[in-house]
A = this chain, B = another copy of it.
Amino acid sequence: MSDDDTPAMRLVHLLRAVTVELHLRGAEFAARSGLHPTDLRALIRLLDADRAGEVVTPGRLGEALRLNSAGTTALLDRLERLGLVRRSRDERDRRRILLVVEPKAVELGWSFFGPLIGGLVDAAQEFTPGELDVVRRYLTAALDAADPVGKGG
């Protein structure tokens, strides 16, 4: 966007290149697995929640993915048909559906993220703990810059 070739701008372009690359990887993986891009985003969200022990309902999932209720239902139909997730009535509030992640989804997630994470962890081996902390500080600052409102907003 700018012809500036400052260190800061180089990082901006690098960061963008990384996001583009990860996006492409995701799209390729989704296509190979018979998933739509949205399905992969949903899978990621569900696995994150599962890992954090959060309970996810269709409403919350749709909100996270910016889908309306009709789209969310269709999405869950697809994921359920693929055996990646299961709908389970909440017995405490019987209006709600709790989404249960099936083992198959965890396996699928690992088959995608495993190699990627492995590569990134290997890459980190080349750096000292102090250097990794510098990177952490930068990425944290970049996250704030990209998300002015903040997660709490």
Contact surface of A with B, Cβ cutoff 8 Å: 1-3, 6-12, 14-19, 21-25, 27, 47, 51, 66, 109-110, 113-114, 116-117, 119-127, 129, 131-148
Q: Which residues of B contact A51 (CB under 8 A)?
A: 1, 3
- Interface contacts beyond A1-B114, A18-B19, A19-B19: sample of 18 additional A-B pairs, CB < 8 Å, sorted by A: A1-B109, A1-B110, A7-B124, A8-B132, A10-B136, A11-B135, A12-B121, A14-B136, A14-B140, A15-B22, A18-B146, A19-B23, A21-B146, A116-B145, A123-B142, A123-B144, A127-B138, A134-B134
| A88 nearest CB across to chain B (Å) | 23
| A41 nearest CB across to chain B (Å) | 9
Q: Which residues of B contact A126 (CB under 8 A)?
A: 137, 141
Query: A17 is contacted by which of B16, B117, B143 (Cβ under 8 Å)?
Result: B143
Q: Which residues of B contact A147 (CB under 8 A)?
A: 21, 25
